[in-house]
Structure 1
Amino acid sequence: MSDQKHATAYWKENLKYLLILLSIWFLCSYGAGILFVDQLNAIKLGGFPLGFWFAQQGSMYVFVILIFVYVRLMNKLDKKYGFDND
């Protein structure tokens, strides 16, 4: 595989991961915090409505978790395409 095709395949897979992870974050922050808040408020978490919790705390927690997931995925992707320094 040529270097250009190799880099293109790497970048396409990277963008796929980014789109998936950002979609998850969008659904958790905008979807759960704004769009589906009325349905989620019927559920309580720690004494607070779940929709309120997602709007105030949940989306930040999900974002931090997705950062760690992205790092792990990128480490695997780097090894797959030979871009790791180890």
Structure 2
Amino acid sequence: MNDPSHRSPAADARHWRRNRRAALWLGACWLAISFAPLLLSRQLELPLFGAPLVFWICAQVVPLGFLLLVWRYERILDRLDRERAQGRVDG
């Protein structure tokens, strides 16, 4: 049953629907990580080592957040692909 020719079109559609849902959710997280420090920059005017706190957040924390998003996306897709290969894709 692991042969790709035995997969149903409905299972493929469910797999890609879950894939798109994960991508949209993580894309929304990406937007939040990108713009939250900039939108809160007035409240984050605290100086830290001669620069505003928002500068340090944008320079240090945001790239780590992006790495975590990429790692999470890879884990989600790996799980979805394994479930699809085993024929266990649920809606």
User: Do both proteins adopt the same fold according to a TM-score greater than 0.5, normalized to the shorter chain?
Assistant: yes
* Preserved contact between residue 29 and residue 58 of structure 1 (Cα < 8 Å): no
1:59 corresponding residue in structure 2: 62
The higher radius of gyration belongs to 2
Could you report, residue by residue, the CA deviation over 1:36-78 in whole angstroms, capped at 9, with x for unpaired residues? 222233485xx45432223333322211111111111111111
RMSD after superposition: 2.2
Unaligned segments of structure 2, at least 5 residues: 1-6, 87-91
Kindly provide the amino acid, as one letter, of the partner of residue 82 in structure 2. Answer: K
Structure 1 residue 21: Cα displacement = 0.9
The yes-or-no answer on 1:35 pairing with 2:34 is no
> What percentage of residue pairs aligned between the two structures are identical?
25
1:12 corresponding residue in structure 2: 17
Pair 16,41 (structure 1): closer, same or farther in 2 beyond 3 Å: farther
Q: Give, in whole Å, the separation in 2 of the partners of 1:73 and 1:43.
A: 38
TM-score norm. by structure 2 comes to 0.70
Pair 5,57 (structure 1): closer, same or farther in 2 beyond 3 Å: same
Q: Give, in whole Å, the separation in 2 of the partners of 1:77 and 1:22.
A: 18
TM-score norm. by structure 1 comes to 0.73
Q: Secondary structure at the match of 2:61?
A: helix
* Mean CA deviation greater in 9-18 or 51-60: 51-60
Count of residue correspondences: 79
Runs of 4+ in 1 over 4 A off after TM superposition: none
